[in-house]
Amino acid sequence: MKTYLTDFLSKFLSPALVLSLALSSCNDSVLEEVPLDFFSPDNSFTTEAGALQGITALHDRVRTAYYSYTEFGTMNWATHGSDLGFNGEIPERGSPYLNSYRDMTPIWKPVVDHWTAGFKIIQWANVLIDQLEKLDPSVFAAGEEGKNGYIGEARFFRAFAYRNLVSTFGDIPLLDRPVETAKADFVRDPVSSVLKLMEEDFKFAATYLPKQGQEAAPGRITQGVAWHYLAETYLEQENPESAVEAASQVVDGYHYKLMTERFGNRLGNDYLGSGDVYYDLFGYSNHNLANNTEAMWVIQIEPNVTGGKQISSAYIYGPRYFDIGLTPDGKKAILGNFYNGNYTGYNDTLSRPTGNARGTNFVHYYMWEGEWNTDIRNAKHNIKRDFYFDNPESTYDGHKIDFSLYTNPKRSNLMLDTCKILFPTFMKFHDPGNYFVDPGRSGGGVTHKDWYALRFAETLLLRAEAYLGIGRPDLAAEDINKVRNRAHATPVSAAEVDIDYVLDERARELYGEEWRLIALRRTGKLIERVQKYNDNPMCPGADIEEHNVLWPIPQSQIDLNIDADFPQNPGY
């Protein structure tokens, strides 16, 4: 799905532009607003082409929310506020990042943006669903099946947006029809009602969406993806039996399987001197390959394509190695690439990270204990731990950077050195050799590879969680070991499997991919694990308290809802 909203918006904007030019006249008669042409749901979504435009707009809006820090990215990219990470660049309280739950107020930007983005997606989906349901099936090339396919994809996105909102805010307005007029009497519907709507939406999508491999374009939603999120919804409803059944639809009913052999364009192109199949999973252009049987839902990000956009994965993740300054003998520590007659100070391996997402010591060290040299996910090409001085003028050129080599009292800020400047970085977020923009900064942290919203490994770990819920740790261990066997890790026994082990394995396999806060809330482990593992030196345990399981309702929502009571979440 490489053509997104760009062309769609241009069709909307051009009549508006013509109209605004006409109204610029001083003639009084033009003060009468009689639009010559305009787009509305009633005339936009009347054909299959219009339906596709509506679906394209939803894909684009979800993609934007997915990668925006203050929208859904809070839940995904940064992993801030969880057991897995904090902001290393600005670790203090009062920063714009979720380092401390004390900063989480009803007017805090990530709170407001998260709420707004979610309900915007729901409104867009509802408008499209409402219009498509009115159409005669003959409008669609595939008749009733085609009509239901478009409705199913729109209902998937509605449920997906609710998935994030209900986990984050608890009781929220349940909107299954478009809001067509000004409204100031919203009420907070119970979580159970929202989860029921999600269940119905994901069921419909699982029935009418195309099967794996039959989707119209890369990135489009298929049945297996809907089954996965239906299984997760059942877990939220404390119905592990149904969760097992739904997840088993994915595992047994389609052709998904873990990749076990090297593939794609990283073959013979190992920038760090070695590689493996896990490294290949995150290679540029590898996500959409037909032989990638692990990809389930891939967010489409490509350069030089209309609507292709870009992501800042190498900007968000990774240390600010270029800020180290001088070598112990006073030379510039990092020269970097040579471009336009000068050394840039940045390299094409890591590009320009900021320390924005710094993993906890649990992520970097503790979760690999006992498997340090066996689990391929901890291999040097998957987690870069060693950094080297890069200046032939220094006697330290090519030596591993070690802060104990410095005797200069100015280099005494250990927190700065290890929270911001150097720490291990997961290479799945970087794209060596494929930084296509800003060559003076080796890409400026911008990457253009696609990104997994869902991989089959996550479904296996989700089913393992469901098996635990029905008292079958033996079957949970079997699913976990499918993931661990691919990683060459020691198999786990049934006696060792509990919910913490599942969460540990999710971190090893899905760090930076899973929506960690949702998983921690669902399993009832948010408070415990954040207090135990979030070791931000400025905000230990992220200052989390019991009431922080839910975020505050945006104050603007409460203030504008003048015709009905809209209570705030406790503690805010």
Q: Which residue has the tokens 């389609």?
A: 254
- Tell me the C-alpha distance between 460 and 7, whole Å: 38
3-class DSSP string for 200-262: HHHHHHHHHCCCCCCCCCCCCCCHHHHHHHHHHHHHHCCCHHHHHHHHHHHHHHCCCCCCCCC
Q: Which pLDDT value is given to residue 413?
A: 83
pLDDT in tens, 233-273: 999 999 999 999 999 999 999 999 999 999 999 988 898 89
Q: Which pLDDT value is given to residue 67?
A: 80
pLDDT higher for 458 or 9? 458
Compute and round to an integer the Cα radius of gyration of the chain.
Answer: 25
Q: Which pLDDT value is given to residue 72?
A: 80
Reply yes or no on whether the pLDDT at 33 is more than 60: no
Name all domains of the chain by residue range, CATH numbers in brackets.
Answer: 5-237 (1.25.40.390), 263-292+301-449 (no CATH)
Convert 457-494 to b/e letters by CB count within 10 Å (16 or more is b).
bbbbbbbbbbbbbeebbebbbbbbbbbbebbebeebee
What is the four-CA torsion angle of 118, 120, 125, 128, rounded to 10 degrees? 180
Report the predicted TM-score, pTM, of the whole model to 2 decimal places. Answer: 0.92
What phi, psi does 442 have (nearest 5°)? 50, 45
C-alpha distance from residue 411 to each of 330, 423, 531 (Å): 12, 16, 30
What's the rounded mean pLDDT across residues 482-511? Answer: 98
Convert 310-338 to b/e letters by CB count within 10 Å (16 or more is b).
bbbbbbbbbbbbbbbebbbeebbbbbbbe
Confidence of residue 401 (pLDDT cuts 50, 70, 90): very high
Reply yes or no on whether the pLDDT at 173 is more than 80: yes
534 token code pair: 């979030």
Residue 530's region, left for phi above 0, alpha for psi from -120 to 50, else beta, is alpha
Q: Which pLDDT value is given to residue 13?
A: 30
Reply yes or no on whether the pLDDT at 410 is more than 90: no
Reply yes or no on whether the pLDDT at 356 is more than 60: yes
Confidence of residue 339 (pLDDT cuts 50, 70, 90): very high
What's the rounded mean pLDDT across residues 31-46? Answer: 62
What phi, psi does 504 have (nearest 5°)? -60, -45
Reply yes or no on whether the pLDDT at 425 is more than 90: yes
Reply yes or no on whether the pLDDT at 36 is more than 80: no
Q: Which pLDDT value is given to residue 68?
A: 79
What's the rounded mean pLDDT across residues 8-22? Answer: 30
* Residue 342 near residue 63 (C-beta atoms within 8 A): no
- Tell me the C-alpha distance between 403 and 400, whole Å: 10
Three-state DSSP class for residue 184: coil
Q: Which amino acid is at 309?
A: K
pLDDT higher for 427 or 1? 427
341 token code pair: 């007659």
pLDDT higher for 2 or 241? 241
* Residue 296 near residue 228 (C-beta atoms within 8 A): yes
Burial class (CB in 10 A: 0-12, 13-18, 19+), 454: buried
pLDDT > 90 in the chain, percent: 83
Angle, CA 131 vertex, CA 125 and CA 133 arms, to 5°? 100
Angle, CA 291 vertex, CA 287 and CA 292 arms, to 5°? 35
C-alpha distance from residue 383 to each of 365, 387, 390 (Å): 11, 12, 20
Strand partners of residue 338: 343
Confidence of residue 78 (pLDDT cuts 50, 70, 90): low
Three-state DSSP class for residue 509: helix
- Least confident piece of the model among 4-8, 130-134, 207-211, 348-352: 4-8
Confidence of residue 39 (pLDDT cuts 50, 70, 90): low
pLDDT higher for 243 or 2? 243
Reply yes or no on whether the pLDDT at 562 is more than 70: yes
What phi, psi does 415 have (nearest 5°)? -65, -45
C-alpha distance from residue 552 to each of 115, 157, 179, 315, 558 (Å): 10, 24, 23, 29, 11
Three-state DSSP class for residue 268: coil
Most confident of the following: 19-33, 296-310, 472-486: 472-486
Q: Which pLDDT value is given to residue 393?
A: 97
Q: Which pLDDT value is given to residue 177?
A: 96
If you write DSSP's letter for every residue of 30-47 in order, what string do you get?
Answer: GGS---S----HHHHSSS
Reply yes or no on whether the pLDDT at 275 is more than 90: yes
* DSSP code for 435: -
Q: Which residue has the tokens 């009497």?
A: 185
* Residue 368 near residue 504 (C-beta atoms within 8 A): no
Instruction: Count CA atoms closer than 13 A to 64's CA, side-chain side.
Output: 16
Q: Which pLDDT value is given to residue 408?
A: 80
Reply yes or no on whether the pLDDT at 7 is more than 60: no
- Least confident piece of the model among 24-38, 121-135, 189-203, 288-302: 24-38
What phi, psi does 302 have (nearest 5°)? -140, 145
Number of CB atoms found within 10 A of residue 449's CB: 22
pLDDT higher for 294 or 272? 294
pLDDT in tens, 143-162: 999 999 999 999 999 999 99
Q: Which residues have C-beta within 8 Å of that of residue 439, sequence separation ≥ 6?
A: 337, 339, 340, 344
3-state helix, strand, coil in the chain (%, to 5): 50, 5, 45
What's the rounded mean pLDDT across residues 365-389? Answer: 97
pLDDT in tens, 438-476: 999 999 999 999 999 999 999 999 999 999 999 999 999
pLDDT > 70 in the chain, percent: 91
Instruction: Count CA atoms closer than 13 A to 495's CA, side-chain side.
Output: 0
Q: Which residues have C-beta within 8 Å of that of residue 551, sequence separation ≥ 6?
A: 104, 111, 114, 168, 169, 569
- Tell me the C-alpha distance between 320 and 378, whole Å: 21
Reply yes or no on whether the pLDDT at 490 is more than 80: yes
Q: Which pLDDT value is given to residue 69?
A: 75
Please state, rounded to an integer, the average pLDDT across all residues of the chain: 91
Reply yes or no on whether the pLDDT at 514 is more than 50: yes
